[in-house]
Structure 1
């Protein structure tokens, strides 16, 4: 007897080939009905034998499309309906958006083969996509995910593309981004003045320009990239000078995995993520480097390189044509957001790029490349930047009926929004000191409320009263007449780890270790070396690194030598005189005498140690001193490590004593690497000692300091099986996790 059922699928089920997959599955089981997208996901109506419908349902859940992530699924019997076959019907929305958004996906292997096959009709077409790959979030204006809701709407499919779109056996069956060279996106190569360069194939000409030492701004599918020959020191140096980026490492695009593995040692886990649908930049040690990369120009003074593989058709064709690794860094002036508009690119980058490779597909949501690193010894994953391919969804359960907008931090800003049953976290936006970044930040907040057609009921901000994120949150609260609540910065960090791992319901206490550069504390001092406990929905600060003077405000983070000056005692006068002029010494000594603002920052302690060891006195990019410090460590044996500090008294780690002992070792001529290893071991020991004092066996760690993968490995090794450790796993430990931490804290912590 024929019965009828309704199936609802929620999660990441749009823009991933779900409807065509359902169509073919229904054909396989001989079922009639329909499938469509709606504001909540995918809705399926089926009529047929109950046994076959059950088999269909089970198969769909167990074998969904490879890019899909089913969150919930429901099967319910309905009044019997008669269908004429099975069909994919246009999206029907009856309410507000309540589904996961679809991130961008790297070009699949099949599309790669097509665009490099002279016999294929998409030969050399850079924008080939299918249901398994291509831009999604970058070109989406609203959901449900349909062509008319994306920037592909202006490109009407030709007869050949329509045939593919309608063919259930074709992988482009109902592919909303389908196009080809006859009906799709067009490339345009120009010089810096904007004059068109015609004649040769644009990709071939771009490759020849790069080989000749030129810099080309390439409009990729998520924003512009500035590219040059990674084997040409002069071209790289020219890019550094023009982009005003003197030492920060550049990302390197390798043409193929095979060439990369000839040049660098790549682990299995690194290979897997390099070739994943997310295809982030992966930071890889440059040990056993075998190739002609201009290493020192690409990553000055570093023993690691940021590597990625071609994740779009345009990058794949260019890389194939070149056959050499190239620089592929964000298309912007240093510290500004990535550019996606051609007119803006020509205006802002005219003095940087020699040529521009543009296309006429509009990008609605520009994104930087995501960045991931694995620790060398224990392969712990650390996200350095969460953006293309990883945002804007976030799979973490937050129990709330409220609609919440969390404004995040200031330096590495993100936004978190709960407008429905899902949590969304924006791509990395950047430092809100810069107007262009702040402008994009404000536009992103406005875009979310427009996309979901709902305003928040509560706004969460950082406790720092002068953060632009806080100020904008206060403005929105006043504009919309809704309450604004503040969450202390480091408590948000701690809550982000608790939230990621679902630890709020634990009956046993958890120690929180939050180390970073800066954050406004509950006592109005600058925190950054904090210990907390969490138990029964209560969070308490139980310790911190000993306070030292916070000098020269934000300048302290830019000049590690100032952190050194703050911690220096009389025995360090010789070093002070080497690093400062007499006038500076007088000014900073005067500041120390009257300074009331103190800090417990472990980030600034790293700076001070880097300056003491003459590794870095002035940062040219954020965190440079800490990165260079970690870079000094090539290997260590835990059994040979010694802690500079033996005890924590009344919850206070003696920062000044620690620094004085490091100085003593340095003056005695001890090897820098040994000093740094023991410094990191001391920090590791402090974590375990605090856990012992609090009688706690579970430890959650967050903050930018935990981007140091040597420190992460060392803590895991020392903790062994005696302690259960938690780190940020799908968020960066840096301030990108603050927006999520604000939401988690607000929902679960008594306040």
Structure 2
């Protein structure tokens, strides 16, 4: 006897080809009914024999579309309905949005083949997509995910595209982003002064301009990229000068995996990540590099390169025309957010780019490229930037009936919003010292509230009174008249790892190690080298690096030499006189005598070591000194390492003693790489020594210092199998995780 059933599938199930997949599966099982999107996910009504519906349901939930991620699925019998066949019906929104958003997907292999096939009607069409690939979050205005809720609404499908859309046998059946050269998005090429360049082969012409030594601003599907020939040192220098980016490494776009493999030795895990639907930048060592890249100009003083493969149709076709690696860096002025609007790009970048390649698809949610690195020995995945392809979803279980928004940190700002059953964490937004980043930050906050038709009932922010995220949180809380709480920076870091690994309910104690550059402490000092204990819902600070002087405020983070000055004793005056003028020495000695503000920052300790070793006295980008330190290391053997501190007393790491012992090695003429290896070995040993003292077997680590892959590997190697180690895996260890940590702390910590 046929019965009617209702199936609800939740999770990342919209914009991933779920409805066409259901349609084809239902026809295979000869079932009648409908499938549609709603505000919660995908809803299916089926009429058929129970012994047929059961296998259909099992097949659907165990083998869903490859881009989907099912969170929950439910089947129950409902009132009998008589259907005439099986059909995809228009989505009906009857409530507020309560589903995962769909991130952008890199161009799939099928679409790559089509744009390269002269006999295919999408040959050389740069915006070719299908149900498995293409922009999603970048062009989304509202949900459920339908064409009229995206910026493709203004592009009416031609008859051929419409027939593909309606044809169950076509792989673009119900593809919401379906377009072609007859009805779709158009490219326009112009010079920096706005003069249109007419050509029948626009991408070929663009490639010629790149090869001729020009800089191009190219509007990609998630924002502008600034591009030039990666083999040409002069044009790279020109780009650095115009963009005010003197030394920060540039990302490099390779036209194909095969060309990349000719130039670099890459691991299987790196290849898998490069070719994944997320398509991030992957940081790869440049050992035994065999190509002709201008390495010194691309990544000054570094032994690694940020590599990506074409992840959109426009980049795929452009790279194919070029057949050479190119610089592909964010289209912005230094420290500003990535630009996505044509008019703004021409206003802001006309003195940077020689030519502009624009298109007429609006981008609602601009995103930088995500950046990932793997450690050399253990292949530990470390996210340096979580953005395109990874945001804005975050899988976690949170039990609350409150709508909560966490405002995050300041330097690596993100926003976390819990408006329903799901958590959403924005793409990386940037440094809130800059006005236009603050504007983007506020706009993103408003966008979340608009999209989910919900305002937060609780607002969370950092304890630092000077953070613009904190100031805006206070302003928004007052405006909405909602509860407002502040969470200490490093406790939020620790809570982020506990949350990622679902550790809050563990009965045994967990030690937290949070090392970074700066954070406002509960004692009003500048923390950054902290140890915590978590157990039974309580988090307690149990140790830290011994305080030293915090000099000249935020200037200390920009000048590693100031960290060296702060930690230096009388035996180091000769070295100080080499990097400070007499007037500067007098000023900073005076400040040192009067300074009441102290810091425990391990990030600034890295700076001091880099300055001592003549690697970096002035940072031209955030974390430069620490990156240059790690960069000095080739291979190492733990049995040959020594530690610069032998004991920790009452939870206090003797910072100045550590630095003085390191300085003694420097004065002895010990090689820089050996000193740095010993320094990192000292830090790794401190982690384990502290755990031994506290008699804790589980350690959770966070903070920007844990972007150092050598340090992470050393800790794993030293700990052997005696400790359970936890790191941020799906979030960056840097301040991008603060918003998530604030929310986790608020939900789980009693004190």
1:288-308 alpha-carbon deviations (Å, 9 max, x no partner)? 100100000000000000000
Which residue number corresponds to residue 9 of structure 1?
9
SS at match of 2:164: helix
SS at match of 2:393: coil
Which residue number corresponds to residue 85 of structure 1?
85
What is the Cα deviation at residue 199 of structure 1? 2.3
SS at match of 1:627: helix
Q: Report the Cα distance in structure 2 between the residues aligned to 1:316 and 1:349, rounded to whole angstroms.
A: 23
1:292-345 alpha-carbon deviations (Å, 9 max, x no partner)? 000000000000000000000000000000000000000000100000000000
Q: Report the Cα distance in structure 2 between the residues aligned to 1:603 and 1:351, rounded to whole angstroms.
A: 35
SS at match of 1:507: coil
Which residue number corresponds to residue 543 of structure 1?
543
What is the Cα deviation at residue 581 of structure 1? 0.5
SS at match of 2:740: helix
Q: Report the Cα distance in structure 2 between the residues aligned to 1:591 and 1:284, rounded to whole angstroms.
A: 42
Compute the TM-score of the two structures, normalised by the length of structure 2. Answer: 1.00
Is 1:351 the counterpart of 2:342? The answer is no
Q: Report the Cα distance in structure 1 between the residues aligned to 2:212 and 2:51, rounded to whole angstroms.
A: 66
Which residue number corresponds to residue 499 of structure 1?
499
Which residue number corresponds to residue 589 of structure 1?
589
What is the Cα deviation at residue 647 of structure 1? 0.5
Q: Report the Cα distance in structure 2 between the residues aligned to 1:241 and 1:614, rounded to whole angstroms.
A: 24
Q: Report the Cα distance in structure 2 between the residues aligned to 1:34 and 1:195, rounded to whole angstroms.
A: 52
Is 1:719 the counterpart of 2:697? The answer is no
How do 1:556-705 residues align onto structure 2 when only pairs under 5 Å count?
Answer: 556-705=556-705
Q: Report the Cα distance in structure 2 between the residues aligned to 1:318 and 1:79, rounded to whole angstroms.
A: 54
Which residue number corresponds to residue 122 of structure 2?
122
Which residue number corresponds to residue 483 of structure 1?
483
Is 1:456 the counterpart of 2:456? The answer is yes
SS at match of 1:711: helix
- Which ranges of structure 2 fall in alignment gaps of 5 or more residues? none
Q: Report the Cα distance in structure 2 between the residues aligned to 1:220 and 1:286, rounded to whole angstroms.
A: 27
Q: Report the Cα distance in structure 2 between the residues aligned to 1:3 and 1:295, rounded to whole angstroms.
A: 67
Q: Report the Cα distance in structure 2 between the residues aligned to 1:267 and 1:654, rounded to whole angstroms.
A: 39
Give the paired residue count: 751
What is the Cα deviation at residue 636 of structure 1? 0.5
What is the Cα deviation at residue 399 of structure 1? 1.9
Which residue number corresponds to residue 311 of structure 2?
311
Compute the TM-score of the two structures, normalised by the length of structure 1. Answer: 1.00
Which residue number corresponds to residue 383 of structure 1?
383
Give the RMSD, CA atoms, in angstroms.
0.4
1:22-80 alpha-carbon deviations (Å, 9 max, x no partner)? 00000000000000000000000000010110011000011100000000000010011
What is the Cα deviation at residue 200 of structure 1? 3.5
1:557-586 alpha-carbon deviations (Å, 9 max, x no partner)? 000000000000000000110000011000
1:247-298 alpha-carbon deviations (Å, 9 max, x no partner)? 0000000000000000000100000000000000000000010010000000
Which residue number corresponds to residue 233 of structure 1?
233
SS at match of 1:679: helix
Which residue number corresponds to residue 208 of structure 1?
208
Q: Report the Cα distance in structure 2 between the residues aligned to 1:631 and 1:399, rounded to whole angstroms.
A: 43
What is the Cα deviation at residue 201 of structure 1? 1.1
Q: Report the Cα distance in structure 2 between the residues aligned to 1:424 and 1:390, rounded to whole angstroms.
A: 11
1:443-490 alpha-carbon deviations (Å, 9 max, x no partner)? 000000010001111000000011000000000000000111000000
SS at match of 1:706: helix
Which residue number corresponds to residue 102 of structure 1?
102
Which residue number corresponds to residue 432 of structure 2?
432
What is the Cα deviation at residue 401 of structure 1? 1.4
What is the Cα deviation at residue 194 of structure 1? 1.2
Q: Report the Cα distance in structure 2 between the residues aligned to 1:78 and 1:14, rounded to whole angstroms.
A: 24
SS at match of 2:531: strand
Which residue number corresponds to residue 744 of structure 2?
744
SS at match of 1:283: strand
SS at match of 2:700: strand
Which residue number corresponds to residue 295 of structure 2?
295
Is 1:414 the counterpart of 2:414? The answer is yes
SS at match of 2:394: coil
4+ aligned runs moved over 6 Å, structure 1: none
1:662-681 alpha-carbon deviations (Å, 9 max, x no partner)? 11100010011110001000
SS at match of 1:112: helix
SS at match of 1:10: strand
Q: Report the Cα distance in structure 1 between the residues aligned to 2:292 and 2:672, rounded to whole angstroms.
A: 29
